[in-house]
């Protein structure tokens, strides 16, 4: 299913230029579909040099309205290239979907500086500085912009085996609040989405790590976390795309500094 919305008979994101990171698959890809189907133009970025079959399908379906750029957003030169390429192609940036992130876990007493640095470099440092870079573009253009950062239910609480990842996502929530206040008088809204357990390709990696550290059979953790969700299942990428579309649209113009739990009822706040 591809989400799309219209307002007053026009596509909801008609004329909007959106920049999405970590969008070669999973949640990012679902959000890109929703944005394009709602009239936006999109620049999609991720690490792989070649687009995934899902992104290739987007390129085929939406043609000149979408571009894929590969690169590592932990590198400042790559971030600048991404922004200048978007401006060169489409002339502006109205929406940033700041989604790129990585996951790792392990016993706290065995945690290393290398693990810490890797997670914080991607999930916090790159997230913050891309948000800052895009916000400066929006301010210079004197245009109302929307920034959407991807947090996690893991940012709402600590977990014994997931200390670094939980801390990075808590930082995303905090930076979202601070940025929203700093940019409010510029007409830029900043919000976040905190997904629960979402059935994406990354869960193969997550499940394998839980199997290792909790001594479980492969697949058991994924099954259990889905059953424990109050709505009775893991989420799907399109479950996140609806909220991402809302936050990118004029429907959310009076909302800022918020983090939306999209988790089937796992977290109540």
Find all residues with CB under 8 Å of 112, minimum gap 6, and list them: none
Contact 21, 100 (CB under 8 A): yes
Residue 229 C-alpha from the chain's centroid: 21
d(CA 134, CA 5): 25
Query: What tokens does 179 get?
Result: 């940025």
Residue with tokens 């390709």: 201
Please confirm, yes or no, whether 68 is among the known catalytic residues. Answer: no
**Selected catalytic residue, list 33, 35, 165, 260:** 165
Q: How far is CA 32 from CA 43, 95, 217, 240, in A?
A: 9, 12, 34, 11
Give the CA angle between residues 146, 262, 1 to the nearest 5°.
85
Query: What tokens does 56 get?
Result: 């290739």
d(CA 172, CA 156): 11
Q: Which of 64, 2, 11, 60 is nearest to 238 (CA)?
A: 2
d(CA 173, CA 120): 14
Active-site positions read: 165
């Amino acid at each position: 299913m591809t989400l799309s919305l219209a307002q007053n008979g026009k596509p909801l994101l008609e004329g909007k230029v959106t920049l999405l990171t970590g969008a070669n698959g999973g949640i990012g890809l679902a959000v890109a579909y929703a944005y394009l189907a709602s009239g936006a133009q999109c620049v999609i970025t991720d690490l792989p040099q070649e687009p995934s079959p899902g992104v290739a399908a987007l390129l085929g379906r939406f043609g000149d309205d979408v571009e894929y750029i590969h690169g590592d957003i932990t590198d400042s030169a790559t971030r600048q290239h991404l922004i200048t390429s978007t401006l060169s192609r489409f002339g502006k940036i109205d929406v940033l979907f700041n989604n790129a992130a990585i996951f790792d876990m392990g016993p706290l007493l065995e945690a290393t500086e290398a693990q810490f640095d890797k997670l914080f470099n991607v999930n916090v440092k790159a997230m913050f500085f891309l948000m800052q870079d895009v916000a400066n573009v929006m301010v210079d253009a004197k245009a109302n912009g929307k920034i959407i950062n991807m947090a996690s239910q893991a940012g709402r609480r600590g977990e014994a085996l997931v200390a670094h990842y939980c801390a990075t996502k808590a930082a995303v929530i905090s930076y979202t609040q601070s940025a929203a206040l700093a940019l409010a008088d510029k007409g830029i809204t900043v919000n976040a989405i905190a997904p629960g357990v979402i059935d994406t390709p990354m869960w193969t990696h997550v499940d394998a790590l839980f199997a290792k550290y909790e001594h479980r059979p492969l697949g058991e953790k994924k099954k259990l976390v889905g059953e424990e969700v109050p709505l009775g299942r893991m989420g799907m990428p399109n479950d996140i795309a609806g909220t991402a579309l809302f936050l990118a649209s004029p429907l959310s113009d009076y909302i800022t500094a918020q983090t939306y739990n999209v988790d089937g009822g796992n977290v109540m706040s």
